[in-house]
Amino acid sequence: MSKIVVCPLTAVVETARIHKPSHVVTLLGPTAPPVTVEGIGPDNHLRLCFNDIAVAIEGLIMPGVEHAEGLLKFLGGWNRERPILIHCWAGISRSTAAAYAALCMNLPDVDEAVLAMRLRRASPTATPNKLIVALADDILGRGGRMVDAIDAIGRGQEASEGQVFQLDVSPQPVKEISKTW
């Protein structure tokens, strides 16, 4: 069963040890230290550098089309035989947006609202970065439905850091695991 595992930066080492992912996505700002994951080579580790913003702020890097295209291209190379680990600084915004994009990309026939609810059940704190979602929505040709679905689930519970969670990548309704350890 294919899994997307999402975590904050502080949990990357332990989460990778437990889940043994084949691919890793790192979404951090320009001043964050470099992240390496034992056993993951450079071809299987995507590092995207931008700030967690959805509107332009002077001096910060907004997620752009090139970031979303790079993310989706990388996700297309994941064979789903082993989990993919997606993380950002807090495990709340950039990583949950990328995880939602991965669900939508891998399950093109499943309604966006169903996938957004799957994300919400797995992570009460998930507050996906709306710009990343909008960019992925456009590239995937979802006609704004991804954005609408994320708007419908609303902002997640307030937290300084999200808990590790996983999402099953299957079209059948499944009980999501909200906490993996």
Query: Domain limits of the chain?
Result: 3-168
User: How far apart are the two ends of the chain, measured CA to CA in Å?
Assistant: 19
For 8-22, how does the pLDDT look when each residue is reduced to its tens digit (9 = 90+)? 999 999 999 999 999
Per-residue confidence at 178, pLDDT binned at 50, 70, 90? very low
CA distance 180 to 70: 28
For 91-142, how does the pLDDT look when each residue is reduced to its tens digit (9 = 90+)? 999 999 999 999 999 999 999 999 999 999 999 999 999 999 999 999 999 9
Q: What is the pTM assigned to this prediction?
A: 0.94
**Structural element, H or E, at residue 84:** strand 84-88
Per-residue confidence at 181, pLDDT binned at 50, 70, 90? very low
Task: Report the topology of domain 3-168.
Answer: Protein-Tyrosine Phosphatase; Chain A (3.90.190)
Token digits of residue 95: 């990583």
The DSSP letter of residue 160 is S
Per-residue confidence at 173, pLDDT binned at 50, 70, 90? low
| Cβ pair 130, 147 in contact under 8 A | yes
